[in-house]
Amino acid sequence: MSAPTNDLLIEVPTTHPSMAEARPALDAALAAEFPGGMLRRSWDGDVLRLSGPGASGEIVHEEGRLVGRADLKPPASLMRPVIEKKIGTALTKAAG
């Protein structure tokens, strides 16, 4: 998968020192915000890969922040505000 083009970029400061520490909270927060499997998640080492209808992205731990990046195409691009809010809420919940 190619790197996301950063159509969507969300950065949230975290108290977790590593992605390994944030992983359980991040998995739980994303499952709560995106029930029913619309957002597929898979871990590639310390990178959480995300995909859904018209969207691909990743969440990483960078310099004390959880950083979400996504490439949005239709139909996801039409729902950008909703996706941005849900990912932002999940990152904030997982940040500790």
Which residues of the chain fall short of a pLDDT of 50? 1-4
Residue ranges and CATH numbers for the domains of the chain are: 8-94 (3.30.310.80)
- pLDDT value, residue 6: 53
- pLDDT value, residue 7: 86
- pLDDT value, residue 36: 86
In 1-96, at which residue ranges do the beta strands (DSSP E only) sit? Answer: 8-13, 40-44, 47-52, 55-62, 65-72
- pLDDT value, residue 62: 96
